[in-house]
Structure 1
Amino acid sequence: MSTLAPALSAPGDARPRHWGRRRAVGVIALVVVLVVAAILSVTFGARDVTAADIWSGLTGSTDTASAAAVAKRVPRTVLAILVGAALAVSGAVLQGATRNPLADPQILGINGGAGLAIVVGIAFFGLGSATSYIWVGLIGAAGAAVLVYAIGSLGRGGATPLRLALAGAVSAVAFSSLTSAVLLPRVNVMNEFRFWQIGGVGGATFETILQVLPFLLAGLLICLASSTALNTLALGDELAAGLGARVRAARLISTGGAVILCGAATAVAGPIGFVGLVVPHMVRLLVGVDHRWLLPVSALGGAVLLTLGDVVGRVVARPEEIEVGIVTALVGAPFFIALVRRQRMRAL
Structure 2
Amino acid sequence: MATQHDIALTNALTGIPGPLPPSGVIHVAFPHANRFTIVGNHLAQHDGLSLTAIGIGVHIQSLPAGAQVGIKALTARFAEGETTIAAALRELETHGYLHRTRARLANGRVITRTVFCNQPGAVLRGGVVPVVGPAVRSTAPAPTLVREHVRVPEPTAVLEPRPMAETTSVPEPMPVPEPMPVREPIPVPEPVPVPEAPHAPVRLPPRTAPTQPRRPLPHPQALTPELRQAASALLADLRRHAEELVLSEEAVEELVPGVAAWLERDATTDAIRRALTADLPKPLKHPARLLRHRLTALLPPPLPGVHDLAQPRRAQVTPFQTCDGCERAFRSHDPGHCRDCRAQYWEAA
TM-score range (shorter-chain normalised) is: under 0.3
When normalised by structure 1's length, the TM-score is 0.19
The structure with the greater share of residues assigned to strand is 2
Name the one with the larger helix percent: 1
Larger Rg: 2
Give the structure, 1 or 2, with the largest relative contact order (CA under 8 Å, sep 6 or more). Answer: 1
